[in-house]
A and B are shown apart, each in its own frame.
Chain A
């Protein structure tokens, strides 16, 4: 167990709806990264948050947005859901500033868009 928790574990939504996924980082970590893992593929980087600001973004449209809170927990918001958004969403926490940053992953939220 890494200490990274995510909620909910599973979620079913319909096209066009909005969803919010939550992540609590491991104690002592100050950075949260979000990844999308489609079935049969490796995780794809969505974005990273550090000091409550976005600190790098992958190739995802603006309808994917996030927040980081003062306690370093984070939310991933997806608007106008599409069928292709069905995936496992992974949160990873790390400690920035050491120079050897290692990301530790939570169990993920499995999202199904119908």
Chain B
């Protein structure tokens, strides 16, 4: 079965620190890749997405992610976090051969200390 893994369950860092969240997925052919964020008390929001082309994609709020095909990875980065980045982050993969369903990783809870 296809799977998505996020390496860190919890991350705690201080404001202005850099953030990198790992996401790996199993082989299954062509993929579309997504990062969603869930702020406390809010619904899942799209941060960024990759379909094709430049493997470095930029999203909202200063986030970016890099697709490395050879490593089956799609890691999320932000150079300098703010307290408002405290949230849970989910990586999601759509294997085109499996239709349009999204398979999510288990999520990473990020706490940014002021």
Q: Which residues of A contact B (CB under 8 A)?
A: 2, 31, 33, 35, 40-45, 48, 55-56, 58, 90, 92, 94, 96, 100-108
Q: Which residues of B contact A (CB under 8 A)?
A: 4, 32, 34, 36, 42-46, 49, 51, 90, 92, 94, 98-107
Inter-subunit contact B99/A55 (CB<8 Å): yes
Which of A48, A103, A106 has the most chain B CB atoms inside 10 A of its CB?
A103
Q: A2-B43, A100-B51 are in contact. Are A105 and B107 (CB under 8 A)?
A: no
Residue numbers in B under 8 Å from A48 (CB-CB): 99-101
Q: Specify which of A41, A42, A100, A106 is in contact with B43 (CB 8 Å cutoff).
A: A106
Inter-subunit contact A42/B107 (CB<8 Å): yes
Q: Specify which of B49, B90, B104, B107 is in contact with A102 (CB 8 Å cutoff).
A: B49
